Each structure stands twice: as C-alpha cells, then as structure tokens.
C-alpha cells in the first residue's frame, strides 16, 4: 500500500479498532495474516449488510429462493467446477529474502515499495520488489484450503473448504427446483463463508483468507428456447425497460444487464452513490472461456480502484459440468416450450436447426451438439443458462466504511475549532439505529421515561443507552459509531411527550412524539 494511501486508510482502521468494528484475528497471539474479527459494532454492521442483501435479493422478490449449504462438500464438486485444476495464482519466491508473492502483483508491490526508502531495489518487475533479489519461476498455487474428513489421514479423505458459495447452488439446483415451486427464469441465493488461501492477503479486509460472499445464480432459458416460444429474443438493442417488470422474452444479454442494474440499485440503497463506482466490462480476451459477459463493479478504495463485486453471464457451463461429473441430469422440462415447438412443422424445425448450428459453429462449438440441443428443445428440455451476481460481504463493508468516514472541521459559536469524526452510514446498515439519553441522569421523572422509551425501541431495532457525560460528548460517541439518530429525553418530555431527535449528518434537532419518530425511522429503514 502506498504511503499516502496507507495514511488515508489508517485513521479508518484506527477508528474500527477503537470503536469495536474490526480487530485482527487472534490478536493476543500476534494475529494471523488474512483473518479478521468483527467486534460489537462490526458484527451488527455485518448482519445489517447481509440482511439488506437478503431482503433485496430474496425476500423482496418472488423469483428467488434461498439456500444455506455446508462449507465442506463432496470433493468432486471442485473437480467439476474446475477449481481443483485451475483455481490457482502464480506464486514466486525471492531467492534472497525468501518472501513469497503473487507474480501478477509484483508490479503493484514494486510501485508501493518504490515510495519507501529501498536502496537495494533493482528497478524491474523480474526482481524482488522488497530487496532486489532474483525471483524463482512462477508456479501455480491452488488457493483452496485442504482438510481431512474423518479420522484417517488418507488422500481419499481429502476435502476442501469452499472457495465460493456458488457451487452448492448448482449442486442443489434440482432439489431446489423440485421443492420451491419455482420455474425458469428463477434464482437461488446463498450467503456465507468462503475460504481462499490467498498468497498475499492485502489492504486490510479487502483480500482476506476467510471471508463471506453473497451470491445469486439466476437461471434463465437459453436464447434458442425463447426464440421458439416467442418468435424473437429481446436484446439490449431493443431498449428494454430494465426498471419495470421482468419479461419472459428477454435474452441472456438483457438479463445480464438487468442484474447489473439491480446490483447498482442495491449499492445505492445501502449507501454507495452511483458516482462512486464504475462498471468495468471485461474484454473478450479477459473472459473465462464459458462466459459470455462479465461486469466488475469497481470502487475507488483509498488504495486504488478495485473490484467490489462481479456480475457474470456464465452460459450453461456450471450445470453442464455437474451433469457430466455426477451423471445426474441437470436439465429442466419446460412444458410451454414443448407446446410451442409442437406448432413448428418439419421445415421450420430444419431451418431452426440450421440457424442454431451456424451460430454455434461461429462460436467454435460443435454442429452435431447443436443439433442434439435443438432436438432436446423441441422436447421441452434444456440445461438452464445462468447469470451470477457475486459479492463479498467484507469487501462491501470496507467500501461502505470508506464511503461513510469523514473527519469534519467544525467551528463553534466562540470560534473554537474542533474535528468531528463521523460515519455517515445509511440507516439501513448502521449498527446502532438510535441512541437514547436522559438529559439529566439524576432527574427521576425524565430518567424513567427515557428508560421506558429505550426498552420500547430496542424491541424493534438495535438501540444504545448512554447516560454518562455531557450531551455533546454523547453525540460525538454516536457519530463515530454511525448512529443516525440520538434521542434526548428532557423535562419537556414529562409535560408533552415529545423528545429531541438529533440527526447525525445535519446535527439539527427536532421535537417529535414516539409515533412521529417511529414513522420517520421505519421509512428510512425500508427498502
């Protein structure tokens, strides 16, 4: 991390430690690189980010079902997915200082090191960026953590901690399909821990070895099935309305862009304005061989512009792989498709097959396979294609923290300058929604009302009680925690039931009744 960048992440990291958002894992033993713990405020914040994603992606829709699968799965899953053979980073080692590093990150490390006093740097990527020593040939290093299932340490008992949550969705596709009353197009969502033995975990929680993901696999009909059903396939060139209801005649390209837009809406809703991130459309030579498109949503972190999440159109690759490796059919039966195909005469079918073959061959695929695929379609069968929006919980939390953090220079009435540290979280993800203070601790009447109010509110949302110190100090403590509202109960509350509600961002106060405050809070928390 460059010196100036480091300094811009450092105050945030210090706040996160001081206020109980993020700690080094196993800190009393010196920590363990790439592992982080969330403290009292961090764990609430994380829960809110995940709940927001679940509400937006699963509960708020009729066409997505949830899944909560195990971390350790049958090792054949990782063979089928390609992770066993290809989920590797190129690793190199310095022959002098013995430091391990990712060969593809040497340039970045070199740039970072250049800004530090390093007289021995040789000045080229092929030398160690730390000491200028000679590097070994890069070797692929598989990122999956291995473990043994059962008591016998035998290669046949090797299993892996999942490096992504997505594969369980594919492995349980047929079960979810038959038990959820969903039909293609529909999605399956899952969130949970993933593990990657990253060669160089870096940039605070950005690249960790244990982290959480929130992934959706949205299954769609192949475009050829839509052609049979509707006689056309809607593409982006048709300017579809991506803000309205989803449409059955959308092709993969439209579904992909639709999910990019949905993800952007979600990021806006949890506190990242659109102007703070960019869509990076991967170029054809950057795409995985099976992928038809992939968009990275990138955020300007203090250490540079980096991927926040990705949305990939993965064709039918994953389910086809699992069908091949497990021997279990992964195709679906689509009755409307069969009925539509029945209406095609021999000539129309032959023309359709010819068209599909031409298209497949132009994309380097086999003509015979294309024919078989068309014949399956005529029988209402196909393996669904998939759009995959895949996000990291921790990475999003880091982006939200960076976005929310501000050191404000304030000048009071007497001209005295002061710095206010504030986290401008969206109320939807703020760890504490409301703090309740009795203005005067010793005043029995106000204290009692404040306590009753606190007890009522904490049944609804996470609240914080603070009765110590001046009110100004109490506000500042909540500003650092990102609490959107502070309620102060004072003698007037005893008379008319109203209390002051202080807004974190404007620092303005207004008097509200309990009912008025509930309306205000509920509106701000709703999606």
Which residue reads 């001209």 in tokens?
415
**In the sheet where 509-512 sits, what is the strand order?**
463-465, 434-438, 485-489, 499-503, 509-512
Q: Which of 196, 221, 263, 502 is in the footprint of ligand ATP by CB under 6 A?
A: 196
Q: Which of 281, 269, 272, 323 is nearest to 299 (CA)?
A: 272
Closest residue to ligand ATP, Cβ-based? 392
Q: Which stretch binds ligand ATP (CB under 6 A): 248-256, 305-313, 326-334, 422-430?
A: 305-313
Q: Give the nearer residue to ligand ATP in terms of CB position, either 159 or 166.
A: 166
Is the separation of the CB atoms in 401 and 423 below 8 Å? yes
Q: How many positions of this chain bind ligand ATP (CB under 6 A)? A: 15
Q: Which of 223, 307, 443, 467 is in the footprint of ligand ATP by CB under 6 A?
A: 307
389 binds ligand ATP (CB under 6 A): no
Q: Give the nearer residue to ligand ATP in terms of CB position, either 92 or 208.
A: 208
Minimum distance from CB of 79 to ligand ATP (Å)? 18
Q: Which of 386, 359, 391, 387 is nearest to 373 (CA)?
A: 359
Contacts (Cβ under 8 Å, ≥6 apart) of 442:
none
Q: Give the nearer residue to ligand ATP in terms of CB position, either 100 or 348.
A: 100
Q: Give the nearer residue to ligand ATP in terms of CB position, either 394 or 403.
A: 394
92 binds ligand ATP (CB under 6 A): no
108 binds ligand ATP (CB under 6 A): no
Minimum distance from CB of 391 to ligand ATP (Å)? 5
Instruction: State both tokens at 74.
Output: 């049958």
Contacts (Cβ under 8 Å, ≥6 apart) of 452:
none
Q: Which of 314, 208, 296 is nearest to 260 (CA)?
A: 296
Is the separation of the CB atoms in 25 and 38 below 8 Å? no
Q: Give the nearer residue to ligand ATP in terms of CB position, either 391 or 435.
A: 391
Q: Which of 238, 284, 281 is nearest to 260 (CA)?
A: 281
Minimum distance from CB of 281 to ligand ATP (Å)? 14
Q: Which of 257, 395, 474, 504 is in the footprint of ligand ATP by CB under 6 A?
A: 395
401 binds ligand ATP (CB under 6 A): no
Minimum distance from CB of 209 to ligand ATP (Å)? 7
Q: Which of 437, 446, 454 is nearest to 497 (CA)?
A: 446
Q: Which of 164, 234, 195, 178 is nearest to 389 (CA)?
A: 164
Q: Which stretch binds ligand ATP (CB under 6 A): 264-272, 323-331, 385-393, 419-427?
A: 385-393
Which residue reads 């480091």 in tokens?
6
| HEC-encoded secondary structure of 96-132 | CCCCEEEHHHHHHHHHHHHCCCCCCCCCCCCECCCCC
End-to-end CA distance of the chain: 36
Q: Which of 48, 92, 213, 488 is in the footprint of ligand ATP by CB under 6 A?
A: 213
Q: Which of 390, 462, 492, 498 is in the footprint of ligand ATP by CB under 6 A?
A: 390
Is the separation of the CB atoms in 438 and 446 below 8 Å? yes
Write each residue from 156 to 175 as x if it is in contact with ligand ATP (CB under 6 A), else as -, in one continuous string.
Answer: --------x-----------
Q: Which of 208, 446, 483, 493 is in the footprint of ligand ATP by CB under 6 A?
A: 208
391 binds ligand ATP (CB under 6 A): yes
Cα 527 to Cα 432: distance, rounded to the nearest angstrom: 18
Q: Restricting to residues 309-328, which ones interact with ligand ATP according to CB under 6 A?
A: 309-310
Q: Which stretch binds ligand ATP (CB under 6 A): 279-287, 391-399, 410-418, 420-428?
A: 391-399
Minimum distance from CB of 83 to ligand ATP (Å)? 10
259 binds ligand ATP (CB under 6 A): no
Q: What is the DSSP letter of 144?
A: P
Q: Restricting to residues 453-512, which ones interact with ligand ATP according to CB under 6 A?
A: none
Minimum distance from CB of 249 to ligand ATP (Å)? 29
| HEC-encoded secondary structure of 369-436 | HHHHHHHHHHCCEECCEEEEEEEEHHHHHHHHHHHHEEEEEEECCCCCEEEEEEECCCCCCCCCCEEE
Q: Give the nearer residue to ligand ATP in terms of CB position, either 55 or 282.
A: 282
Q: Which of 394, 466, 479, 490 is in the footprint of ligand ATP by CB under 6 A?
A: 394
207 binds ligand ATP (CB under 6 A): yes
Minimum distance from CB of 295 to ligand ATP (Å)? 11
211 binds ligand ATP (CB under 6 A): yes
Q: Give the nearer residue to ligand ATP in terms of CB position, either 207 or 428.
A: 207
72: left (phi over 0), alpha (psi -120 to 50) or beta: beta
198 binds ligand ATP (CB under 6 A): yes
Where along the sequence are the contacts to ligand ATP (CB under 6 A)? Answer: 164, 196, 198, 207-208, 211, 213, 307, 309-310, 390-392, 394-395
């Amino acid at each position: 991390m460059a010196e100036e960048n480091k300094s811009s992440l450092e105050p945030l990291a210090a706040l996160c430690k001081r206020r109980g958002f993020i700690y080094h894992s196993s800190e009393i033993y010196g920590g363990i690189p790439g592992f982080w713990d969330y403290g009292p405020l961090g764990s609430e914040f994380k829960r809110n980010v995940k709940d927001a994603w679940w509400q937006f992606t699963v509960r708020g829709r009729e066409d997505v079902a949830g899944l909560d699968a195990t971390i350790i799965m049958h090792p054949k899953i990782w063979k089928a997915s390609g992770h066993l053979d290809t989920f590797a980073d190129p690793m190199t080692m310095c022959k002098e200082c013995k430091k391990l590093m990712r060969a593809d990150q040497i340039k970045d490390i070199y740039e970072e090191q250049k800004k530090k006093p390093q007289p021995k740097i040789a000045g080229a990527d092929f030398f160690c960026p730390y000491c200028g020593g000679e590097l070994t040939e890069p070797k692929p290093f598989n990122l999956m953590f291995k473990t043994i299932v059962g008591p016998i340490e035998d290669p046949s008992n090797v299993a892996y901690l999942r490096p992504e949550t997505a594969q369980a969705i594919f492995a349980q596709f047929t079960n979810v399909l038959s038990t959820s009353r969903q039909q293609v197009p529909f999605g399956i969502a899952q969130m949970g821990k993933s593990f990657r033995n990253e060669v160089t975990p870096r940039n605070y929680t950005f690249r960790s070895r244990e982290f959480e993901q929130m992934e959706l696999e949205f299954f769609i009909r192949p475009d050829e099935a839509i052609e049979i059903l509707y006689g056309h396939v809607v593409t982006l060139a048709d300017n579809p309305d991506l803000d309205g209801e989803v449409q059955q005649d959308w092709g993969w390209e439209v579904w992909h862009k639709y999910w990019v837009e949905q993800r952007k809406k979600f990021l806006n809703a949890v506190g990242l304005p659109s102007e703070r991130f960019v869509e990076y459309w991967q170029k054809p030579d950057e795409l995985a061989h099976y992928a038809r498109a992939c968009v990275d949503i990138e955020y300007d972190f203090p250490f540079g512009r980096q991927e926040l999440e990705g949305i990939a159109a993965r064709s039918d690759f994953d389910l086809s792989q699992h069908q091949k490796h497990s021997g279990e059919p992964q195709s679906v039966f689509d009755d409307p498709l069969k009925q539509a195909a029945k209406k095609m005469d021999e000539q129309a079918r032959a023309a359709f097959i010819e068209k599909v073959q031409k298209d497949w061959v132009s994309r380097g695929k086999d003509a015979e396979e294309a024919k078989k695929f068309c014949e399956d379609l005529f029988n209402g069968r196909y393996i669904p294609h998939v759009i995959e929006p895949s996000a990291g919980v921790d990475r999003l939390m880091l982006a939200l923290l960076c976005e929310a953090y501000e050191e404000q220079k304030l000048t009071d009435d007497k001209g005295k300058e002061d710095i206010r540290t504030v986290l401008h979280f969206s109320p939807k993800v703020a760890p504490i929604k409301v703090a309740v203070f009795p203005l005067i601790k010793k005043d029995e009447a106000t204290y009692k009302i404040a306590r009753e109010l606190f007890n009522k509110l904490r049944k609804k949302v996470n609240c914080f009680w603070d009765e110590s110190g001046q009110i100004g100090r109490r506000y500042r403590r909540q500003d650092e925690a990102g609490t959107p509202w502070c309620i102060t109960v004072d003698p007037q509350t005893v008379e008319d039931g109203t209390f002051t509600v202080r807004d974190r961002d404007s620092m303005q106060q207004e008097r509200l009744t309990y009912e008025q405050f509930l309306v205000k809070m509920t509106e701000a928390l709703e999606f």
